Amino acid sequence: MLKIENLHATIGDTEILKGLSLEINAGEVHAIMGPNGAGKSTLAYVLGGRDGYEVTEGSATFNGQDILDMDPHERAALGLFLGFQYPVEIPGVSNLQFLRESLNSQRKSRDEEPLSGGEFIKLAKEKAALLKMDMDMLKRAVNVGFSGGEKKRNEMVQMGILNPELAILDETDSGLDIDALRTVGSGINAIMRDEKKAVLLITHYQRLLDEVQPDYVHVLAKGRIVKTGGPELALQLEEQGYEAVAA
């Protein structure tokens, strides 16, 4: 599904990704762990197509298509979703309006009919219930005045509504209380566990991986994948730290 080869990316003059390779197939869950500043969020942004992140070498394809020249919204319409480490506030725009416009834009790109107001509300209710989010929250402005945990949960509601093929979730677990972590974990499983879909979890902690069990765990350090293993690698990291494991 996603194939990254020898990816180099810079912000300004600084090279952050330094020859990163990674392949994710449909039906798989991958986890990326790594020290602060290693380039995990940068990887997510580069894949999402954020301005200011320049790819200087290497390639990234999504279902065989080169995505690096595409606009962010085109990548989204292909089924790429980013769960943000720091979800953004958009004052004056309700979550429902935001998501309905986003979804219908994606559908338009894919030559699908737009969802009617009624259909959309039904879908939103279903996904909000899955994440135990009050519908009233969805009527409020996007992330404005949301607590840290609510923002993360809101990301997952958005994912549910947009129903992507590949979700890259950047520290979705951080800021969640114990119960919320379970809810979010089971939400991810319900939405994304599918033979046609895949997940890339970026995380610092084992606890999310207890809920959403990965098939592969990678260690990202200094801009590249330095080690890959099974779920046991995460446990080993938790015990010994990056220095010992990835050195």
Partner 1 sequence: MTDNIKTDTHPAPLDERAQMNAEAQAAADKASTYEHGWSSDIEQEFAEKGLNEDTVRFISAKKEEPEWMLDWRLKAFRIWQDMESPDWAKLDIPMIDYQDAYYYAEPKKKPELDSLDDVDPEILRVYEKLGIPIAEQEVLAGVKGARKVAVDAVFDSVSVATTFREELEAAGVIFRSISEAIREYPDLVRKYLGKVVPVKDNYFAALNCAVFSDGTFVYVPEGVRCPMELSTYFRINAENTGQFERTLIVADKGAYVSYLEGCTAPQRDENQLHAAVVELVALDDAEIKYSTVQNWYPGDENGKGGIYNFVTKRGLCAGARSKISWTQVETGSAITWKYPSCVLNGENSVGEFYSVALTNNHQQADTGTKMIHNGKGSRSTIISKGISAGKSDNTYRGLVRVGPNAENVRNFTQCDSLLLGDTCGAHTVPYIEVKNPTAQIEHEATTSKISDDQMFYAQQRGLDEEEAVSLIVNGFAKDVLKELPMEFAVEAQKLLAISLEGSVG
Binding site for partner 1 (CB under 8 A): 45, 48-52, 71-73, 75-77, 81-82, 84, 86-93, 97-99, 101-103, 105-106, 109, 141, 158, 162
Q: How far is the CB of 242 from partner 1 (least distance, A)?
A: 28
200 binds ligand ATP (CB under 6 A): no
Q: How far is the CB of 88 from partner 1 (least distance, A)?
A: 4
3-state secondary structure the chain: CEEEEEEEEEECCEEEEEEEEEEECCCCEEEEECCCCCCHHHHHHHHHCCCCEEEEEEEEEECCEECCCCCHHHHHHHCEEEECCCCCCEEEEEHHHHHHHHHHHHHHHCCCCCCCHHHHHHHHHHHHHHCCCCHHHHHCEECCCCCHHHHHHHHHHHHHHHCCCEEEEECCCCCCCHHHHHHHHHHHHHHHCCCCCEEEEECCCHHHHHHCCCCEEEEEECCEEEEEECHHHHHHHHHHHHHHHHC
Binding range to ligand ATP, per CB under 6 A, among 30-38, 115-123, 143-151, 184-192? 30-38
Distances (CA, A) of 198 to 76, 92, 174, 225: 15, 33, 21, 19
11 binds, among partner 1, Mg ion, ligand ATP, none (CB under 5 to 8 A by kind): ligand ATP
Closer by beta carbon to Mg ion, 193 or else 204: 204
Ranges within 68-87 binding ligand ATP (CB under 6 A):
85
The single residue among 8, 40, 100, 151 that binds ligand ATP, judged by CB under 6 A, is 40
42 binds Mg ion (CB under 5 A): no
Closer by beta carbon to ligand ATP, 3 or else 18: 18
Q: Binders of ligand ATP: how many residues, by CB under 6 A? A: 13
Ranges within 88-117 binding Mg ion (CB under 5 A):
none
Amino acid identity of 151? K
Q: How far is the CB of 44 from Mg ion (least distance, A)?
A: 8
16 binds, among partner 1, ligand ATP, Mg ion, none (CB under 5 to 8 A by kind): ligand ATP
Q: How far is the CB of 162 from ligand ATP (least distance, A)?
A: 23
Q: Which residues bind ligand ATP (CB under 6 A)?
A: 11-12, 14, 16, 34, 36-42, 85
Q: Which residues bind Mg ion (CB under 5 A)?
A: 40-41, 85
